[in-house]
Chain A
Amino acid sequence: MILLELFLGFLRVGCFSFGGGYAAVALIREVVLSHGWMTEEMLSYVIAVSESTPGPIMVNLATYIGSSQAGVPGAIVATFAVVLPAFLIILALMAVLRRFTENPWVKALLLGLKACVTGLILATALEMLASNCLKGGTPDLTAVLLTLALGGIYFGFKPVFKKKLSPIALIAIAAALGMAVYGV
C-alpha cells in the first residue's frame, strides 16, 4: 500500500534528520531510491526544485515525492509524516524544558550548544558566500557586486532609516535584482 509506505518512509526522515535540510537530503535519497520511487536523475531534479522554492527543503521533497507517487493523498500523507516528529518533539520538550531552564546543568548544556550552533551557522554563511562569489575557482564579479549591494542594503538600512529592513523585503529585492541582472 503506497500511502502507508510513504507515511513510514517520511516518518523515518522526520525522526532522524538532525542538523537541518541538507543532512536530510541524504536520508531522503536513501529512502526514495530503496523504494524505487524515483530514478536517481529524477530525484536530483526534484532536489534542485526543492532548494529553489520557498519552504523547508524536507517538506518540499516530501510533498513532491508524495504527489508524484500517489497524487493529492500521497502529497498530504508524506508531508504530514515528515512534519509530525518535529511537531511532537517540540511540544514534549517545551513541557519538560520549562521545568528545567533554571537548572544549572541545563544552563551549562544550553550555553555550550549555543556556542556550537553559532559556529555552525557562521561557517555555513561563509561557505555560502564563498561558493556564490566564486565560479570554478575564479571570482564572479557580478555575484560579488550583487552580494555587496544586498548586504549594504540589509545592514545599512537601520542606521539610515532607523528601522530594520525586513528579511522578506530583502528576498523580494534580491529576486527583482536577479531578474534585472541575469535576464528574464
Chain B
Amino acid sequence: MKRSKLLWQLFTVFFKVGLFTFGGGYAMISIIEDACVDRRGWITRDEMDELVVVAESTPGPIAINCATFVGARQGGLPGAIIGTLGMVLPSFLVIFAISRFLDRFLEIRAVASAFQGIKLAVSVLILDAGLRLLRRLPRKPLPLAILLVSLAVMLLVNFGALRLSSVVLMLAAAAVSLAVFAAQRRGEGKR
C-alpha cells in the first residue's frame, strides 16, 4: 500500500475510534480490536493482548497507548504521530466546542438521554473485552488463580468494601508470576 494512503487510513480509523470511545479505556479495547485486528489485520490477536497488558501497566490513557502502538507498528514514527493525533482530535474538538459554547451541555435532554443509553452499551462492550481476554487466557493453574484473585479483590474495591489501587494488584501479580517462574526453574535445575 502506498505510504500516504496508509497514513491517511491510520488517521481516519483512529479518528473514528476516538469519536466513539465513551466511558474510558476499557470499552475502547473492543472498538480497537474490531478495527485493527478483525477488520484490517494491522496487528495480531496476541499482539492485541500484549498491548492491553502494556497499556494497563504504563501511565496515560489506554486509547493513546493503543493508537501509538498500532500507528508505530504500521507506519513507524510518522504512523505513531498520525494515529495518536487521529485519536486525540475528536475529543479535542468536541470538548473545545463544549467549553466555549455550551456551558449547559449536560442539561440538554437529548444529550442526557443518549448518554443513558450509551452508558449501558459501554458496560456491554467492557464485558465483551473481558470475555475475549478470558477466552484466550491459557488454562493453567497460575494464570487462573491470578485471574480469580484479581477479580475478587477488584470487585471488593469497586463495590466500596476495600480501598486498593489496581496498580498494587498488578505489581502483586507481576511479583507472584516471577516468583513462581523462578521457583519452577530452580525445581527443574535440581532434577
Q: Which residues of A pack against B, CB within 8 Å?
A: 14-24, 45, 48-60, 63-64, 67-68, 72, 75, 79, 82-83, 85-87, 89-91, 93-94, 97, 101, 104-105, 108-130, 132, 143, 146-147, 150-151, 154-155, 164, 166-168, 170-179, 181-184
User: Contacting B22 at CB < 8 Å: which of A52, A82, A112?
Assistant: A52
User: How does the 8 Å CB contact mask read for B102-126 relative to A, with 1 for contact and 0 for none?
Assistant: 0001100111111111111111111
Given A94-B69, A147-B123, the answer on whether A115 and B31 have CB atoms closer than 8 Å is no
Contact: B177 with A91, CB < 8 Å?
A: no
CB distance from B2 to the nearest CB of A (A): 24
Contact: B173 with A113, CB < 8 Å?
A: yes
Chain A residues, CB < 8 A from B121: 150, 154, 170-171, 173-174
User: Which B76-91 residues have a C-beta within 8 angstroms of A?
Assistant: 77, 80, 84, 87-88, 90-91
Chain B residues, CB < 8 A from A16: 59
The dominant DSSP class at the B interface is: helix
* Bound-complex Cα distance A118 to B166 (A): 12
Chain A residues, CB < 8 A from B62: 20, 56
Chain B residues, CB < 8 A from A121: 26, 29, 126, 129-130, 133
Contact: A55 with B53, CB < 8 Å?
A: no
* Bound-complex Cα distance A105 to B182 (A): 8
